[in-house]
Each structure stands twice: as C-alpha cells, then as structure tokens.
Amino acid sequence: MQYFNLHTHVYTSQEDIVELVNQYPQEFDATLPNYSIGIHPLFINLDRLESDFEILEQKAALPECLAIGECGLDKRSETAFEIQLDVLEKQLLLAEKHQKPVVIHCVHAFQELVELKNKLNITTPILIHGFSKKEQLAKQLLDNGFYLSFGKNLLKNPELETVFTNTPNDFFFLETDMIEEGIHEVYALAAKYKKITVTELQQIISNNFNTVFTNK
C-alpha cells in the first residue's frame, strides 16, 4: 500500500509515495504528476497578482491539480491583512468553483480563517497543513469541518501527541513540508501514537484521500 504526503516542496518520485507537491504560479513545473498550486500569504506580489491568478485559474482546471494552496493568512506577512483576506477569498471561491480541496497556511489568524470559510459557505474540504497548536484550537477547527495535517511538529514536539491521537481518524493527513525526514518516518511515529500498524495507518489515510480528493 502507498504512502500519501499531503504537502511537500520536494518531489522525490518514489514509487510507494503519492506526493502532493506545492507549487507557486510563477514557478510552475508542468512535469509534476500531482500538485497543489496557490498564492502564499508571505509571497503576495501586487505587481503580478493578476497574472498569478490567471495562471492559477488555468492550472486549477487540470486533473493533475489536486488542490488549491498552499494559501492562507499570516500575520507576520508584510502584506496588509485585508489584502491577504481578499487574496484568500478569491482562492477559496476558485476552489469551490472547481471543487478542489484547499491546503491552508495559517499563522495567528485561525479565527479569521474560520469566519471566512463560514461567511463564504465553502463546501470543498479545507486542510490545515503543518498543524502544531493546542487541543482547544484543534477542536474548534474540527468542529468547523477542517482537516488537520501533521508533519514536522509531530516529529519535533512530543506535546503534540495528545492533539494528534485525539484527532478523529477520518480528519487527518500526514506530510513532510520541508523537513529532511521522509514521509515513512512521519507515518512510523503517527502509527505508534495511534497504537496501530503502519499498514492500518496507510488504509486510514487512503480512505481520507479518497474522500477529500476523489469523492467529487
């Protein structure tokens, strides 16, 4: 059975891994078999925003594009927060139009993210990549229909074990993002935390993949 890596910036082309490789519009690589594409809140460039959205609209319609993102909100960004909200809203509506899931990057703006999702009545799945917060926030996001993806912080922060084990099996994914460790290591620790085998974990995430990415 295969592994699924929800979010990575490096395509490794390993036969036993399905990788959702993150792409940005201006650096698009057409050779990747599966990708997500979006405008990151840290890299919003007003001078090319229109052309970025044109590329995004074109690629979102292709079958190789499995998701929109990573996009989101980040209060560390130099871009004004209102502009970030507008850029994210357009991407959420694009995802809704094409019925593609959304991979979200969010820093210090979860409340605003929840409010925007509910205001727009987004029905397509929204996934928080690299989740690293406390159980209260995890519960709020899960109660609002978000999926949580765990990776780097699961390996580096033992306190995240409880949050992860309490996340329902049908609402999580695993990823590597930009860490050196491979997805096999993330799966091994996740299976240990869930007290199941890696094969059982693969089946859980395979089911979640089918629900989120192919259940159109």
Pairing between β-strand 126-128 and β-strand 172-174 as defined by DSSP bridges:
unpaired
pLDDT of residue 214: 86
Entry pTM: 0.97
Query: What pLDDT, on the 0 to 100 scale, is given for residue 136?
Result: 97
Q: For 170-216, write each residue's pLDDT tens digit.
A: 999 999 999 889 999 999 999 999 999 999 999 999 999 999 998 64
71: exposed, middle or buried (Cβ count in 10 Å: 0-12, 13-18, 19+): buried
Residue 166: Cβ-neighbour burial (10 angstroms; 0-12, 13-18, 19+) = exposed
Phi, psi (deg, nearest 5) at residue 117: -60, -45
**Over residues 53-75, mean pLDDT:** 97
Closest of 5, 37, 75 to residue 83, by C-alpha: 75
Contacts of 131 (CB under 8 A, 6+ apart): 138, 148, 149, 150, 153, 163
Average pLDDT over residues 43-55: 97
d(Cα 147, Cα 58) in Å, to the nearest integer?
26
Question: Computed over its alpha carbons, how large is the radius of gyration of the chain?
Answer: 16
Tell the residue number behind the tokens 């890696």, with chain if given: 198
Q: Considering only CA atoms, which of 162, 109, 115 is closest in space to residue 136?
A: 162
Residue 204 tokens read as 């859980």
Give the pLDDT confidence of 91-146 residue by residue, as tens digits.
999 999 999 999 999 999 999 999 999 999 999 999 999 999 999 999 999 999 99
Q: Which residues, other chains included, contact 46 with Cβ-Cβ below 8 Å and sequence gap of 6+? A: 79, 83
pLDDT > 90 fraction of the chain, expressed in percent and rounded = 97
Residue 17, beta-bridge partner list? 3
Q: Which CATH class is domain 3-214?
A: alpha beta
